[in-house]
């Protein structure tokens, strides 16, 4: 994996229990939290978390593009003056969050339409690479910000995360007002403009990067299993530039070698993670591809993805309960969940075999469709025991360590976005339903041999 294709090497309310129609009404209240969350129903607790986290992508968005800033630091200056840098993958998560915000009443439909119309126009005019977007852009100028020396062109995985949201927006607006239909049309045109097949370079595997200056010089094949399944599903589903089924079977599934019979904490892993033998990767692998793609009951000839993602979360819970390194606050009904996030010494991809005592709230909260009881217990633990140490302007901060008394006031788009979306998928199935109903996705999943209760 492109160790969380994000910033490795770079340091890098009560807002009201009811959904508000006007965000201005809660502006002065949203930074405060209740002293005791036990009095809140589960539904109110989730609404509180979603609404405040949503503000990262609404109030905190980069103003020219309307897209999600890569990071927002409440506790200090931005590294390398990157406060205008937007992230395409995180923006995709945020766009799905805007749909949640409209549906929940955090913003009005008119506000959402205007923001999304601006975003679609912006995405159409910034540089693209055979239809794919780069990992980062300077939001104010629209110019590419290279992720690394050779990574200055198209990033197919970040593009896939963004494309999930384009399909969701199209499905949400396609039968709406004339304005909404126009936004849906723009989203559809953007999705159809991506040349997925180009990124095979004539081979039976998708490659992560391509640029006009370095061609396929990065030479990073996308193979399972990590966060990238959605890339293959979209590439197979494309009505304009689809990949062949052999690309999925040989590339992603490695001709069946993706299967695994190994267990961890007596829980079947079910799939060969892109990690050392017997290890599981960071928990975002169970989230990013599945914000739109519903994993529940999703099976191909190799694995049951619903079981894979649930067991991934349950392995994290079992690890926290065993707590072999005796870190403070760990437990199945306390703090659990290891993923890529800020860490004490920069940025790290945490997992049970790479535990630095750092808990990332997105790990447990975004797993709520798989582990609702334990995810809600985690949320209550944070509110009732850590309070303002971990909760701020845009929801729970990115990461913390009780052991090290480390509570940075920082946010990352790709960690905040899944919280809003996956919590909504648990509550209503909204984003899953919109994405899975798309005709191209239905056809693409069937083409790849998938079974799902959502296939008609």
pLDDT digits (tens, 9 = 90+) for 264-297: 999 999 999 999 999 999 999 999 999 999 999 9
Give me the percent of the chain exceeding a pLDDT of 70.
90
Give the integer Cα–Cα distance in Å for 154 and 241: 16
Give 83's pLDDT tier (boundaries 50, 70, 90). confident
pLDDT at 28 (0 to 100): 35
Least confident of 17-21, 48-52, 247-251, 271-275: 17-21
Give the integer Cα–Cα distance in Å for 21 and 7: 35
Residue 26 lies inside a defined structural domain of this protein: no
Residue 25 lies inside a defined structural domain of this protein: no
CATH of the domain at 315: 1.50.10.140
Give the integer Cα–Cα distance in Å for 353 and 278: 10
Beta bridge partners of 343: 346
Three-state DSSP at 246 gives: helix
Residue 358 lies inside a defined structural domain of this protein: yes
Give the rounded distance of the alpha carbon of 87 from its chain centre: 12
pLDDT at 2 (0 to 100): 56
Q: How many domains does the chain have?
A: 1
Token digits for 377? 């217990």
Residue 20 lies inside a defined structural domain of this protein: no
**Phi and psi torsions of 104, nearest 5°:** -85, -10
Is the backbone of residue 449 left (phi > 0), alpha (psi -120 to 50) or beta?
A: left
Give the integer Cα–Cα distance in Å for 26 and 200: 48
Compute the average pLDDT of residues 229-246: 98
- Using the predicted structure, report yes or no on whether residue 16 has a pLDDT greater than 60: no
Q: What angle do CA 345, 351, 355 make, to 5 degrees?
A: 50
278 in Cβ contact with 264 (< 8 Å): yes
Residue 187 lies inside a defined structural domain of this protein: yes
CA-derived radius of gyration, the chain: 20
Residue 1 lies inside a defined structural domain of this protein: no
Token digits for 89? 């993958």
The DSSP line for 332-391 is TTSB----EEEETTEEEE-BTTB--S-B-HHHHHTTTTT-HHHHHHHHHHIIIIIGGGTE
Q: Which of 378, 441, 167, 250 is nearest to 452 (CA)?
A: 441
Instruction: Tell me which residue range forms the domain holding 162.
Output: 54-447
Residue 27 lies inside a defined structural domain of this protein: no
Residue 41 lies inside a defined structural domain of this protein: no
């Amino acid at each position: 994996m492109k160790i969380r294709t994000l910033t490795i090497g770079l340091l890098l309310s009560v807002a009201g229990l009811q959904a508000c129609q006007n965000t201005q009404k809660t502006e002065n209240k949203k930074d405060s939290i209740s002293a005791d969350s036990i009095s809140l129903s589960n539904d109110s607790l989730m609404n509180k978390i979603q609404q405040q986290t949503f503000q990262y992508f609404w109030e905190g968005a980069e103003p020219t593009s309307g897209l999600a800033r890569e990071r927002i630091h409440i506790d200090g200056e931005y590294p390398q003056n990157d406060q205008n840098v937007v992230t395409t993958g995180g923006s995709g998560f945020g766009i799905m969050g805007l749909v949640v915000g409209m549906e929940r009443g955090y913003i009005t439909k008119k506000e959402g339409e205007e923001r999304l119309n601006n975003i679609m126009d912006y995405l159409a005019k910034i540089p693209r690479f055979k239809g794919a977007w780069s990992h980062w852009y300077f939001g104010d100028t629209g110019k590419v910000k290279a992720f690394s020396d050779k990574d200055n062109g198209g990033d197919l995985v970040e593009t896939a995360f963004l494309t999930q949201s384009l399909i969701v927006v199209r499905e949400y607006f396609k039968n709406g007002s004339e304005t909404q239909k126009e936004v849906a049309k723009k989203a559809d045109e953007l999705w159809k403009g991506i040349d997925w097949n180009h990124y095979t370079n004539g081979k039976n595997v998708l490659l992560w990067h391509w640029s006009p200056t370095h061609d396929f010089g990065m030479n990073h094949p996308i193979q399972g299993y990590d966060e990238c399944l959605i890339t293959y599903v979209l590439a197979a589903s494309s009505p304009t530039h689809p990949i062949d089924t052999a690309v999925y079977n040989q590339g992603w599934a490695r001709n069946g070698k993706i299967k695994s019979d190994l267990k961890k904490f007596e829980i079947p892993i079910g799939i060969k993670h892109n990690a050392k033998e017997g290890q599981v990767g960071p928990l975002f692998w169970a989230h990013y591809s599945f914000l739109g793609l519903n994993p529940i009951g999703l099976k191909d000839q190799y694995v049951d993805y619903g079981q894979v993602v649930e067991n991934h979360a349950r392995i994290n819970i079992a690890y926290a309960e065993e707590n072999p390194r005796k870190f403070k606050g760990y437990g199945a009904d306390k703090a659990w969940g290891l993923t890529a996030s800020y860490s004490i010494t920069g940025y790290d991809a945490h997992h049970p075999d790479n535990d630095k005592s750092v808990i990332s709230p997105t790990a447990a909260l975004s797993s709520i469709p798989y582990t609702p009881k334990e995810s809600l217990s985690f949320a209550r633990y944070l509110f009732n025991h850590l309070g303002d140490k971990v909760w701020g302007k845009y929801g729970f901060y990115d990461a913390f360590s009780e052991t090290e008394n480390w509570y940075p006031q920082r946010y990352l788009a790709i960690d905040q976005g899944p919280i809003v979306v996956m919590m909504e998928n648990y509550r209503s199935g909204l984003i899953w339903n919109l994405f899975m109903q798309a005709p191209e996705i239905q056809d693409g999943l069937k083409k790849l041999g998938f079974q799902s209760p959502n296939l008609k």
